[in-house]
Amino acid sequence: MAKFHSPHSPVSLPRGFFLLFAFLWLASPAGSAGSAAPSGNRDYKVGDQLAPADSGKAANKSSHPAAQATPTTGAPKSAGTYKEKSWDDLMPRNWDPMASLKGLKLENLKDSDPRAMEALEKMREAWSNAPVEPALNGERIRIPGFVIPLEKSGSKVKEFLLVPYFGACIHTPPPPPNQIIHVKAAKPVANMRTMDTMWVSGIMQVRSVDSEFGQAGYQLKAEQVEPYP
């Protein structure tokens, strides 16, 4: 009888217990959520932007959207038929919100010069009435950004806003209308939280200025939403 409880037993109880618990923990939602959730967003600082997947793209900032080739070899295979875009592509090429400040020679101005403030006001106005790029209408694009959930069903997100930099909306003045994409996901996306980073692929719809404030903007019918990078 005593022999059965001898240390010959293949897995002694305390160790077996530990293994059992470790297995349970790792396989449970809590264990997997802890490791799989894109909690990496804590690493971003306010204003941080996402780099496009292929590093060469970051250099040609001012290239016209139409001139963009299909994704280079560096892009993930899921890119498929989507054209990869950067957030700069969403601004019309000849749009320069800084125009009002550029004509100004700051060194020639007096302190508290009204002209400086006037130029700054003009710049701010240019930002909040930022125009959209109509050439993007109907394009199949793929773009990375930070997520702000709008509409949920259960724990899944059906509609969200995609913005180019971390902390947009919360700590800093809002991004201009041409730097916000209203995304409607074809399939609700699970495990998505505020300021998670996502690749969104889908068909872009451009609504031009509706004479009223804040009506211009981009809407994306997302066919794929996947974690970035």
Partner 1 sequence: MAVSIALSVILLLGVEQLRTQARESFAQSISGTDLVVGARTSPVQLMLYAVFRLGDATHNIHWSSFQAIAAHPAVAWAIPISLGDSHRGFAVVGTTLDYFEYFRYGDGRSLGFAAGTPFAEIFDAVVGAEVAGQLGYRVGDRIILNHGTGEPGLTEHSDKPFKVAGILARTGLPVDRSIHVSLQAIEAIHLDWQGGAPLPGLSIPPEYVQKFDLAPKEITAALVGLKSRASVFQVQRFINRYKAEPLLAVMPGVALDELWSIVSIVEKSLLAISLLVVAVGLSGLVAVVLAGLGERRRELAILRSVGAGPRVVLILLAIEGAMVVLAGSLLGLSGLFAASLFAGPVLEAHLGISLHAGLSAETLQLLLLVMATGFLASLIPGYRAYRLSLADGLTPRL
Contacts to partner 1 by CB under 8 A:
1, 3-5, 9-11, 13, 16-17, 20-21, 23-25, 27-30, 33-34, 128, 148-155, 157, 159-161, 168-170, 173-175, 177, 180-182, 193-194, 207, 212-215, 217-219
The answer to whether the CB of 162 falls within 8 A of the CB of 194 is: no
What is the C-alpha radius of gyration for the chain, rounded to an integer number of angstroms? 25
Tell me how far, at minimum, the Cβ of 18 lies from partner 1, in Å: 9
Tell me how far, at minimum, the Cβ of 217 lies from partner 1, in Å: 4
d(CA 69, CA 25): 46
Cβ distance to partner 1 smaller for residue 79 or 166: 166
Cβ distance to partner 1 smaller for residue 30 or 46: 30
Tell me how far, at minimum, the Cβ of 34 lies from partner 1, in Å: 7
Tell me how far, at minimum, the Cβ of 97 lies from partner 1, in Å: 16
Cβ density class 29-61: b for 16+ within 10 Å, e for less: eeeeeeeeeeeebeebeeeebbebbeeebeeee
d(CA 156, CA 141): 23
The sign of the torsion formed by the CA atoms of 87, 88, 92, 96 equals: positive
d(CA 154, CA 205): 27
Cβ distance to partner 1 smaller for residue 28 or 70: 28
Tell me how far, at minimum, the Cβ of 122 lies from partner 1, in Å: 18
d(CA 228, CA 221): 18
Cβ distance to partner 1 smaller for residue 55 or 191: 191
Cβ distance to partner 1 smaller for residue 28 or 78: 28
